[in-house]
Structure 1
Amino acid sequence: MNISMIGTGYVGLVSGVCFAEFGFQVSCVDLNAGLIARLSAGEATIFEPGLDELMTRNIRDGRLSFTTDLAASVAGADVIFIAVGTPSRRGDGEADLQYIEAAADAVAAAMKPGAVIVIKSTVVVGTNARIRDRIRAARPGVEFSMVSNPEFLREGSAIEDFMRPDRVVVGVEDTRGREAMRRVYRPLYLRETPMVMTTLENAEIIKYAANAFLAMKVTFINQVADLCEKAGGNVQEVAHAIGMDKRIGAKFLHAGPGFGGSCFPKDTRAFAATGRRFDAPQTLIEEVVAVNETRKQAMAARIIEAARQSDAASVAVLGVAFKPNTDDIREAPAIDIIAAIQKAGLTVRAHDPEAMVTARAALPGVVWCNSAYEAAEGAGVTALLTEWNAYRALDLKKIAGLMTGNVLIDLRNVYKAEDIEGTGLDYRSVGNSSAFPKAGEHH
C-alpha cells in the first residue's frame, strides 16, 4: 500500500514517519522546498524525542521519501492523508479551512480512481462532507472514499501516542474506506488497540470534544488552585486525591499558568464557535477560553508584583515552550507572560533547552541565555514556566547566589518545601497558601 501524506507539520511528519515504520511506502509532501530538502537529508524539522532515529531508518530503508511534487505523490497513492494546518480564523475563532480546501483541490486533480482520502487535520463538524462534495464536483464520476481520522498526538510523546494509542477514531462512509483504514492500522489492531468506527460527523466532534474536555480539566484545577491559596489549601494534595477517583483520573490535573500549544487554544475556540453556529452554545468551553486568557495575565501580575517588591530590574524566565520535550511555542503561556513583564518595564533574561531558536522572533528584546544559571544572573525574580527535566534538579543555592533578589516563582510546582530549605530563596508555588503570599503580604 502506498500512502501520500500532505503536510509535513507536526501531525503530518510524525504520522508519515510512523506509517513508514509500520512498513508502508510513504511519500510526504510539502510546498516548502527548503523544508523538503532538510527532511530528505534526514533532518527533523521539529523537536520530538525519537523522531530523528525513525526518520533516518525509514529513509535508509527506502520506505520514506519527501517531495514538493504533490501531483506525483497523490497519483501513486492508495491512501491520501491531508494533514495541513487549521489555525484559528481571526474574528470568530472558527477553524480556517483554506489550507484543507487547497489540498483537497490538488488531490482531486491528481488522485487515481478508488483512492481513499483521509482528513487527519482537526476540522469542525461538517468539513469532511463539504470536502467530499468539493472533490466530487471537481472529478465527477471518479470513485473515491472519504474518511475522517483525527489525531490524538501529544507533543513530546507523539511517537508513543501513535504506536500505542488509547484508541483510533475513524469516520467512514463505505466499505472501501473502512477496509483501507483497517489495513493502515493493522499493526495496532494486532496489539488490540480499540478502533472506533463511526460517522464522519461523529469523528469530527469526538476530536474537538476530547480536547475541550481536557482543557476544561486544566482550567478547573487552576481555579481550584486559586481557592487553595486563599483558603489555606494545597492544590497538589487536592489534585492527587481527586485524581485517584477513576471517574476523574489524575491526568491534566496539574495547576499552572494556563494551557497553550497548537491544539487546546484553537480547538476550544473552534468548538465554542461551532456551538454558536449550530445554536447549541458550548458555554462551559466559552468560559474555559476566557478563564485561560485571564490566567496568563494573573500569573504575569504575580511575577511583576514580586519584581517591584524586590526593586528588581530584570526577571529570569526558565522555559518558554508550552510544555517540555517540544520546541513549540504556539500560544505558550510564556509568550503572553513575558510580553506583560516587558510591558511593565522589566528586562527578561530567558532560557529554554529547545525552544529559544523559535522564540527569538516572537519575543524581541529578551536576553537569551545559555543556561538557567546564566538567566538568573542579576535577576530579582526567577520564574519557572516550563517543567523541563533540566530544571528539576537545579542548584538552588547557586541560583540564589547569582540573583540580586531572592524570589523563585514556580508556576509548575516542580519543587517542594524541603527542596528550598537553606537556599535563601523566597519560594512561591501555585495553589499552596503557605508558599504564596496573599496580596499585600511580604515573605
Structure 2
Amino acid sequence: MDTAELYDDHDRERLVPEPPKRVDAPVRTAFERDRARLVHAAAFRRLAAKTQVVGPQTDDFVRNRLTHSLEVAQVARDLSKALGSQPDIAETAALAHDLGHPPFGHNGERVLAELSEPCGGFEGNAQTLRLLTRLEAKTVDADGRSVGLNLTRATLDACTKYPWPREHAERPAGVHADGSPRVIRKFGVYDDDKPVFGWVRDGAPLDGGGIRQCLEAQVMDLADDVAYSVHDVEDGVVAGRVDLTRLDTAAVWTTVRDWYLPAATDDELDAALAGLRAQASWPDVAHDGSRRALAALKNLTSDLIGRFCGAVQHATFGAAEGPFVRYRADLVVPHETRLEVAILKGIAAHYVMQAEDRVALMVRQRTLLAELVEELLRRGPDALEPPYAGDWRAADDDRARLRVVVDQVASLTDASAVAWHRELVASR
C-alpha cells in the first residue's frame, strides 16, 4: 500500500481549502506540497545564518541551524520510511523544527522569554507554529488574514513537538544542546494561536490529557536528538576539542547527569560506552585531520545514526503491529539507546559547550537582544519591517505590540540582529 493511503481527508485538510492544481502541473501529494512550501519559505533560508551550537560565522565546517535541519530531515525521512509512515510528513516536520528559534539559539530564546513575560512568554516551538500558520506569508483567508503556509493538518501536527499551552508546561530542568540552562517552560502554542492549535489537534486522542505527540512528531523529535548528539561530537573532534580515544569519563558522567539523565549510574554509563566502543568504526587512534581520519570519522557518524535508528525501529516493531501512522502507534526508544545518545551529548557538552569563551559570548548576546527589543518598542512601527509594522498598527494594546516586536526580533539572523543593534542602539 502507498503510505499516503494511510492518511485520510481529515489528515490532508488545510485551514483554507485550495482549488485543484492545473492539469499540466506535476502530480504531487498534499504532503509533498507541504515539503516544497517549507523549503521555499524565507524563514527556512534564514536558518543558514542562525546559531546551532557555535555561531555560523566562527567556522565554515561546523553546523548551523540550516545544515542541522537538513541532517535531521534525512534521519527522520529514513526512519519514517522504515516504519511505513509517510516520509514527507516527518521530513517536513524535521525541516521546520527549528524555524522558531531566534538569533543566538537557545541563548536568545532565554532573553525573549524573559522580556515577553507580559504577553505570554516566548518558546521556539510555539514560535514555529506561529510562523507556519501566521507569519510566513503564502495564503490568506476570506478576510485577508494570513494563514501562513497553509500546510495540512497532519504535517502541522507533526511539527508540534510540545502539544500543550504554556499553563500546562512542566518546570524547566537541565541544559539545552548549546549549553544554555533550561530556564523557560517548553510549550507549543501562544494564547492568541490557540484557535489554530485546536484545529491542528482535532482528532488527537484525549487519553493522557490530550498532550500525546503523533508518531510523525515523535520521529522528528528522535531524529533531532540523534542528529545533534552525533554531529556535535563530530564537530568537536574536527575542531580538536574532543579525542574519543582519551575520555575523562568521570567528568563526562557528571555532565551527563547534570544536563541530561540525572538518574544514570556510573555502571549504566560505563556499559553504554563499552557498547559504543565496540563499534568497529570507533577510533583507536587520535584524529589527525587527514583525509583518512576524516573518512573514518564520517563512517563513525553514519554507523552511530544507523545504530540508534535501527534499535528504535526494532523496538517499535516489537511493541505494536502498526500501522505506524499518526496515533495508531508510538515510537519506542530503548533505555540503552537513550544512554548512548546521552553519552555523546555529554562528551560534546563537557569538551565544547562549557568553554569559557562561549560563556562570555553568550552574556554579550543576551545584552544585545534585550537592548534591541527595548529600542524597537520605543521607536515603534517605523523601525519594523513592513509586515510587522502592519501587525503593530493592528495591535490593540501594549501587550500585543510587545508580541509584534518579539516576532520581529525572533525572525532575525545572528548577523542581522548585530547589524540592527549597531544601527538602532549603538549609533545613538
TM-score bracket, shorter-length normalisation: under 0.3
Structure showing greater radius of gyration is 1
Using the size of structure 1 for normalisation, the TM-score is 0.24
Structure with the larger RCO, 1 or 2 (CA within 8 Å, 6+ apart) = 2
Using the size of structure 2 for normalisation, the TM-score is 0.24
